[in-house]
Amino acid sequence: DLAEAPVLMLKLASRPGDTVRTEAAGVAAYLTKPVQPFELLDAILSALGVHETRRRLAEAKETSPKVQLVAAGLSILLAEDHPINRELAVTILTQEGHRVTEAYNGKEALALATRRPFDLVLMDVQMPELDGLEAIRLIRGHEQPTGRHVAIIALTAHAMKGDRELCLAAGADAYLSKPVKRRELLEAINRLAAQVSAGAAQPTVGAPVPEEKHLDLERLLEQLGGGKEMVQKLARMFLQGLPEQLAELRDASTQRDGRALARMAHMLKGAIANFGTGPAYAAASRLEQSARKSEWMEIASAQLEFDKQLDKLVGELEAYLGQDSRKGKATS
């Protein structure tokens, strides 16, 4: 009787949505040919419910002497829409004995990450259908009731100041810029795996990681020689001029005027930099770069991210001004 027998599927090539479709059909695992012996063994063991890893196989393989292998046999979700980048990452990871599940867009990555337990997620920030940063936020939100915390490494094509803060604010544990370098990727995986083993990467239930601050008040006060009055003046000037600047930015986006959009994003980025080079600054930089290339699909998600981060900066500025105003009344 084969009714209860696990089914493994072999395919010549993988296509978007394959993982979701095969799971829905009841397939225990699918492999892309040509299949390596250790991949087949791992799939069979997993399908049979034998909780073994390929650690011994991975350790037996010849590895780079510069990167000591700490983590092996991890179950990794790779969310990457570009086929060449995806193939490169899959090659590096499988050579180290890891088992890789591929997602071709943000929605597929979110569906897989919230349905199946993974040891690690590699998330491209610029994903179709659902932005990578938003996918990370939704994964973290899904984890909140359970207290589970999957390690997430964010991957971005940009290498600008503030990118790291933007990724960490979304909930990523680490950040790498593309093209991914083998050594950097393996070191990041090993570092996160070591933290999980030590319990450092497991947050307490109901105690989410503190969100990255957008207003770097300490740096701003230092820049202005400790003058709080000038900080208040700059904050008010920024908030007063913001509605008009945002109206121009949105008009440029509606008119699909890449040059005007890049100019406004650059102007806002410069203004935001006075208050901090965190997530809001990084989001403005990303929007500017996308506008310069007239990448309108990317511009849409970049603009949503910019609006979200800018709202948080505005909230912190308004809270600071309100707090300072109350202090002034109390001392008068």
Do 190 and 57 share a structural domain? yes
Query: What is the chain's mean pLDDT, rounded?
Result: 78
Output the pLDDT for position 290: 84
- Confidence at residue 30, expressed as pLDDT on a 0 to 100 scale: 66
Q: Angle at Cα 84 formed by Cα 81 and Cα 89, nearest 5°?
A: 85
Q: What is the DSSP string of 295-310?
A: -HHHHHHHHHHHHHHH
Is the residue at 81 inside a domain? yes
> Residue 18: what pLDDT?
62
Q: Which is more confidently placed, 252 or 270?
A: 252
Number of structural domains found in the chain: 2
Q: Give me the domain span that covers residue 303.
A: 217-331
From start to end of 173-230, where are the E strands? 174-177
Binning pLDDT at 50, 70 and 90, where does residue 298 land? confident
Q: What is the pLDDT of residue 58?
A: 42
Is residue 32 in a domain?
no
SS3 content of the chain, % helix, strand, coil (to 5): 55, 10, 35
Q: Is residue 4 part of a domain?
A: no
Give the bridge partners for 78, in sequence order.
Answer: 102, 122
Structure confidence at residue 113 (pLDDT)? 93
Do 58 and 192 lie in one domain? The reply is yes
Instruction: Read off the CATH number of the domain in which 291 is found.
Output: 1.20.120.160
CATH number at residue 107: 3.40.50.2300
Q: How many CB atoms lie within 10 A of CB 120?
A: 24
Residue 40 lies in a domain: no
The Cα–Cα gap between 289 and 161 comes to 13
Cα distance between residue 274 and residue 73, in whole Å: 46
Q: Is residue 209 part of a domain?
A: no
The verdict on 167 and 302 lying in the same domain is no
Distance in angstroms (rounded) separating the CA atoms of residues 322 and 317: 9
Angle between helices 132-143 and 163-170 (to 10 degrees): 30
Q: Kindly state whether residues 176 and 76 are assigned to the same domain.
A: yes
- Which among 149, 165, 198 is the end of a domain? 198
Q: 43-47, 79-83, 106-110, 294-298 — which is least confidently predicted? A: 43-47
Q: Are residues 149 and 245 in the same domain?
A: no
Does residue 110 form part of some domain?
yes
Residue 294 is predicted with a pLDDT of 86
Angle between helix 279-292 and 163-170 (nearest 10): 120
- Residue 146 burial (C-beta neighbours within 10 Å; 0-12, 13-18, 19+): exposed
Taking alpha carbons only, the member of 108, 76, 87, 75 closest to residue 13 is: 87
Which pLDDT value is given to residue 122?
96
At 30 the three-state DSSP class reads strand
**Cβ atoms within 10 Å of 287's Cβ, excluding its own:** 28
Pairing label, strands 151-156, 120-124: parallel
**pLDDT for residue 254:** 93
Q: Tokens standing for 321? A: 């001004």
Q: Are 166 and 283 in contact (CB under 8 A)?
A: yes
In a domain, 33, yes or no: no
Are 93 and 183 within 8 A, CB to CB? Answer: no
What confidence tens digit (pLDDT) does each residue in 164-218 have? Answer: 777 888 889 998 987 788 888 999 999 888 877 665 444 433 334 445 667 888 8
Q: What's the residue count for the chain?
A: 332
For residue 318, the tally of other CB atoms under 10 A from its CB is: 12
Mean pLDDT of all residues in 250-259: 93
| 69 and 181 fall within a common domain | yes
pLDDT, tens only, 80-137: 988 878 888 888 888 888 899 999 999 999 999 998 889 999 999 888 888 888 899 9
Which of 174-183, 231-240, 264-273 shows the lowest per-residue confidence on average (mean pLDDT)? 174-183
Q: Is 308 exposed, middle or buried (0-12, 13-18, 19+ CB in 10 A)?
A: middle
Q: Is the pLDDT of residue 283 over 80?
A: yes
Q: Residue with structure tokens 């991914």?
A: 180
Claim to verify: residue 266 and residue 327 sit in the same structural domain: yes
At which of 147, 168, 198 does a domain end?
198
- Do both 187 and 314 map to the same domain? no
Amino acid at 36: Q
Do 143 and 253 sit in the same domain of this protein? Answer: no
The DSSP secondary-structure symbol of 35 reads P
Three-class SS state of 103: strand
For range 224-249, the mean pLDDT: 88
- The enclosing H or E element of 264 equals helix 258-273
- Pair (65, 191) in one structural domain: yes
Inside any domain, residue 14: no
Last residue in a domain, options 198, 233, 262? 198
Sheet holding 174-177, edge to edge: 99-103, 75-79, 120-124, 151-156, 174-177
Same-domain pairing of 67 and 179: yes
Look at residue 239 and tell me whether its pLDDT is greater than 90: yes
pLDDT-based confidence at residue 48 (cuts at 50, 70, 90): low
| pLDDT for 60 | 40
Q: Does 226 lie in the same domain as 186?
A: no
Q: Is there a contact between 61 and 37 (Cβ–Cβ < 8 Å)? A: no
